[in-house]
Structure 1
Amino acid sequence: MLAGLSSLVAAFWAVLHLRTLLLGAVVFLFLADFLKNWRPKNYPPGPRRLPFVGNMFQVDIEQSHVQVQKFVKKYGNILSLDFGNLNSVLITGMPLIKEIFIHSDQNFINRYVTAVRERVFGENGLIMSNGQIWKEQRRFTLTTLRNFGLGKKSLEQRIQEEAQHLVEDIEKEKGQPFNPQFKINNAVSNIICSIVFGERFEYHDGQFQMMLKLLDEIVYLEASIMGLFYDMLPSIMKFIPGQHQKIFSNWEKLKLFISHEVEKHKRDLNPDEPRDFIDAYLNEMAKHPDKNTTSFHEENLICCTLDLFLAGTETTSTTLRWGLLYMALNPEIQEKVQTEIDRVVSRGKQPGLADRESLPYTYAVIHEIQRMGNIIPLNVPRKVTTDTTLSGYHLPKGTMILTNLTALHKDPKEWATPDTFNPEHFLENGQFKKKESFLPFGIGKRVCLGEQLARSELFIFFTSLVQKFTFRPPKNEKLSLKFRPGLTLSPVNHRICAIPRP
């Protein structure tokens, strides 16, 4: 009897003890979450966050740049949004954007390095590096790009030659519907490849097409819900199977591709006659033999090359795809562009950069494509480098800063018809007019280092294509302006017809 009662008491105590432990664990986790995400006085306002997940379920990740606009209306131009343990502040409006990226740039100059990028790149590369590493790599890269043609006639001719290759490849479609994505990707990528690797790749090169597909998957997966979960919980997610694991396997394959290119360059390197970016970098590495005291080493060469490959391919090719889509959906605008090109550039001559001033309508159309395409809607994230006050709000060191380019490029105070494709936004009395509230390449010291190259590519590729073809929707198919979310906003998969002009 007593033994049975003792067992019952022991069992009851065990259950009670277990419940106490569980309750204590839950209380501890909530307390830890509260303390970790405690907000100082004068922290920017924002929607009420939930424990552990923050505002994650209040924003559709695939439409985040659109959905956050309702919070801007409610909370103002400086608002806080949390995604798990990722604490961010969204900045809206040109005055604030200029304040943080020009007037107070030292407090906001660093990139916010996500867990995904930390695992792949560490502190290396051009896009996500910070401090002295970033300064050294950016300075070297800009100098090297100029040495290999940036801003010179030789690079313009290279772009024109590649545009002709693209025209010839599209001509093979004979006006039938085709998906333009990888043809355009290949053509645009060949420009940066000619600078980095010293060679271009044929459009039927199977290995290079695979590299472009790996890159395309990364652009989508890094910004997916699984990519976000990894950034929130890297120590757990690295052990869990799922699509996020493909991000890292794809990056490793791309690293291996670059590594093989580097080894080929080492074998036939002539230090006195560098052929391309890799040769120039190998020469720079030779000046700094102690890897522990320099940022010029092979891992950084691979990461910088990957950054050039990604940035030099994805943004310009995505913008061009939007451009052809908008032309097919706005035939009257396309016809005006063709009429202007025909008037200024003879049909047997290829457009060049010198024609820009004589093609104001066409140049305005290209800018409107960038505005409406809005391919990096919240800009590349920055990080607060030290506790900072902005318009009376306290921003703690380490806070992620997002720039609301969507609101800037759709501001009804700046654009007469913000939601409509309208080249007149960039015209005044028939002449091209710059707009301050147009920042597709960013602003300040970390402005896109490939801006000059991208502008040249967009102009020459776009004018060459519209000069040679009329772009139309396929019969019985409706083209859509829906976007595929990712690191960039790209058009959903579609087919288009390129009708050769007589």
Structure 2
Amino acid sequence: MLLIIITTIIALLVIYFYKNVYSFPPGPFPLPLIGNLYSIDIKKLHIWVKEQKEKYGSVFTIHIPIPFVVLGDVDAIKEAYIDNGDNFLGRETRQIFEKFFNIKENTGVVLSEGDWWKNQRRLSLTILHNFGMGRSIIEERIKMSIDDLFEHLDSLKDKEHIDLSKSLHLTVGNVINGILYGFIYKHDNAEKFYEFTSLFEQMIKGTRTWKMRIAILFPDINKIPILNKFISKPLMEIQRKIFEIHHTNIEKCKKTYNPNNEPPNFVHAVLKELESNESKYSNLENDHLEGMVRDFYTAGMETITVTLKFFFLYLLNDINLQEKLRSEIYDVVGKDNEIHLSHRNELIHVESFIYESQRKSSILGFPLIRKCTKDTYIKNNLIKKGSLILPYDYIANHDEKYFKDPYVFKADRFINEDGETLNKNLIDKFVPFGAGKRICAGKSLAEAELFLILTHLLQRYRFIPNGPIDMEIQFGNLLTPKPYTCKIEKIL
């Protein structure tokens, strides 16, 4: 009798499971409990997801093991996030990230939603705009960081085995550090900065392990002490240290805060706003300040640094391309003249190279999850309220429909046949910073840093590979190149 009851319960659960499966857009066949995990190479998840797109179209469902609706081309992404943007502003945070990282609900810009998200994003963008994001002020901040990089590279005795990643990391980090905290690190005294980046690199490596995947996909596993200690606790300890560094920097920043002075950094500006009797953001607290700082620090440093590492990987792999871009800089700007953001429209081969590098690398290995807040049809597929959404930029940016030979790096891909103008129609099919109301808040800062750091380095130095270039990508929440070194020759 007991066996019959157990069998009946299992059968009913299986029936319920598949009834739920068929309420989503079609996709690869899932099994109860494990979904599609039986058929996935977790180290090449982005490749596997693209293969499913070829089978099921631009809107499909994968179970890993939680069901996710994938938006697999730029048209589906824009139909959802621009044409129906208000229906896709939700974030699924409590189930996955908050439980794993112990993040307080609705703190920061990335994982919050509703009015909490609107208020924190609006306040952040207002402050960043006041600090010059998108204007000449931010250009000067970036150039100051580049000048420090020049001084550091020129001072190196060994120019034969240079790890560009460390220098680029600090250069980018100092820009966001100056904006958020009001201080920067010198290249010869940056131990604390590299302690932080080391922790973050450990986190990225952790996302490549099966333990991390289990912890994120099954967040309730943290409630089981033995499994928590084995699977989640080591990574949570790394994350705790990262949070503590931010907390310490914010507390130091608070000690120099004077409400009577014009705020010199993001932290002071938020504090002044929160203290104002006329503030629109009186519901925000210190936890929200720390969340905003963490989000902008991570987004403003790691993604830009990884993208720059791909830039120089491609340039080391093709010396002729490197010389071509350098020649364009010399022809348009000159060898000794200063490069400005205003030169972007004239340096079309440099711009096309930047677009193609971002397209080819598409560094988000696992996109930021959104949540559908209202039943919506996308590409004639019903996406039900509450569905979790993966806008897979990697797939969209490797779509054969718009990008011929998508896995081949073509530096001039985004240039028209006339050889003199950029192909704006193709650029419109390219998704480097997301789309819609949740588009990357630091887009203009990222574009400025990528352009200025790349062009200034090419104008001043020649980069030479140390042997064969390994183009293999390492999978994680961020797709990264393998570590490499190079030689540099000063030109100017």
**Aligned-residue RMSD, C-alpha:** 2.4
Instruction: State the alpha-carbon separation in 2 of the partners of residues 127 and 160 from structure 1.
Output: 28
Provide the residue aligned with 2:397 in structure 1: 409
Secondary structure at the counterpart of residue 259 of structure 2: coil
Given that 2:367 and 2:393 are in contact with CA atoms closer than 8 Å, whether structure 1 keeps it comes out as yes
Provide the residue aligned with 1:74 in structure 2: 55
Given that 2:366 and 2:478 are in contact with CA atoms closer than 8 Å, whether structure 1 keeps it comes out as no
The answer to whether 1:220 aligns with 2:205 is yes
Report the Cα offset of residue 190 of structure 1. Answer: 0.9
Question: Who wins on radius of gyration, i.e. which is larger?
Answer: 1
* TM superposition score normalised by structure 1: 0.89
Given that 1:364 and 1:424 are in contact with CA atoms closer than 8 Å, whether structure 2 keeps it comes out as yes
Instruction: Name which of 110, 117, 120 aligns with 1:127.
Output: 110
Report the Cα offset of residue 468 of structure 1. Answer: 1.6
Given that 1:136 and 1:295 are in contact with CA atoms closer than 8 Å, whether structure 2 keeps it comes out as no
The answer to whether 1:305 aligns with 2:293 is yes
Q: Which runs of 5+ in 2 are unaligned?
A: none
Provide the residue aligned with 1:374 in structure 2: 362
Q: What number of residue pairs does the alignment pair up? A: 479
- For residues 124-167 of structure 1, what are the alpha-carbon distances to aligned partners after superposition, in whole Å with 9 as ceiling and x for unaligned? 11111100000000000000001112122222011011112123
The answer to whether 1:175 aligns with 2:175 is no
Given that 1:79 and 1:91 are in contact with CA atoms closer than 8 Å, whether structure 2 keeps it comes out as yes
The answer to whether 1:163 aligns with 2:150 is no
Provide the residue aligned with 2:264 in structure 1: 275
Q: Aligned in 2, Cα 1:499/1:26: closer, same or farther, shift over 3 Å?
A: farther
Secondary structure at the counterpart of residue 218 of structure 1: helix
Provide the residue aligned with 1:10 in structure 2: none
Mean Cα deviation higher: 211-220 or 75-84: 211-220
Secondary structure at the counterpart of residue 67 of structure 2: strand
Q: Aligned in 2, Cα 1:339/1:40: closer, same or farther, shift over 3 Å?
A: closer
Q: Aligned in 2, Cα 1:145/1:102: closer, same or farther, shift over 3 Å?
A: same
Instruction: State the alpha-carbon separation in 2 of the partners of residues 438 and 431 from structure 1.
Output: 17
Q: Aligned in 2, Cα 1:180/1:33: closer, same or farther, shift over 3 Å?
A: farther
Instruction: State the alpha-carbon separation in 1 of the partners of residues 351 and 114 from structure 2.
Output: 36
Q: Aligned in 2, Cα 1:462/1:251: closer, same or farther, shift over 3 Å?
A: same
Q: Aligned in 2, Cα 1:37/1:140: closer, same or farther, shift over 3 Å?
A: farther
Q: Aligned in 2, Cα 1:438/1:219: closer, same or farther, shift over 3 Å?
A: same
Q: Letter of the 1:450 partner, please give it.
A: G
Provide the residue aligned with 1:49 in structure 2: 30
* TM superposition score normalised by structure 2: 0.91
Instruction: Name which of 469, 477, 480 aligns with 1:487.
Output: 477
Given that 2:109 and 2:117 are in contact with CA atoms closer than 8 Å, whether structure 1 keeps it comes out as yes
Provide the residue aligned with 2:350 in structure 1: 362
Secondary structure at the counterpart of residue 479 of structure 1: coil
Report the Cα offset of residue 397 of structure 1. Answer: 2.3
Report the Cα offset of residue 41 of structure 1. Answer: 5.3
Provide the residue aligned with 1:143 in structure 2: 126
Provide the residue aligned with 1:453 in structure 2: 445
% identity of equivalent residues: 27
Secondary structure at the counterpart of residue 230 of structure 2: coil
Instruction: State the alpha-carbon separation in 2 of the partners of residues 38 and 294 from structure 1.
Output: 46
Q: Letter of the 2:82 partner, please give it.
A: I
Report the Cα offset of residue 316 of structure 1. Answer: 0.7
Report the Cα offset of residue 37 of structure 1. Answer: 6.1
Instruction: Name which of 468, 480, 500 aligns with 2:490.
Output: 500
Secondary structure at the counterpart of residue 38 of structure 2: helix
Given that 2:141 and 2:175 are in contact with CA atoms closer than 8 Å, whether structure 1 keeps it comes out as yes
Q: Letter of the 2:257 partner, please give it.
A: L
Q: Letter of the 2:196 partner, please give it.
A: M
Given that 1:229 and 1:237 are in contact with CA atoms closer than 8 Å, whether structure 2 keeps it comes out as no
Provide the residue aligned with 1:431 in structure 2: 421
Report the Cα offset of residue 278 of structure 1. Answer: 0.4
The answer to whether 1:103 aligns with 2:83 is yes
Q: Which runs of 5+ in 1 are unaligned?
A: 1-16
- For residues 271-296 of structure 1, what are the alpha-carbon distances to aligned partners after superposition, in whole Å with 9 as ceiling and x for unaligned? 13212110011112223799xx9541
Q: Aligned in 2, Cα 1:48/1:40: closer, same or farther, shift over 3 Å?
A: closer
Instruction: State the alpha-carbon separation in 1 of the partners of residues 396 and 104 from structure 2.
Output: 31
Secondary structure at the counterpart of residue 424 of structure 1: coil
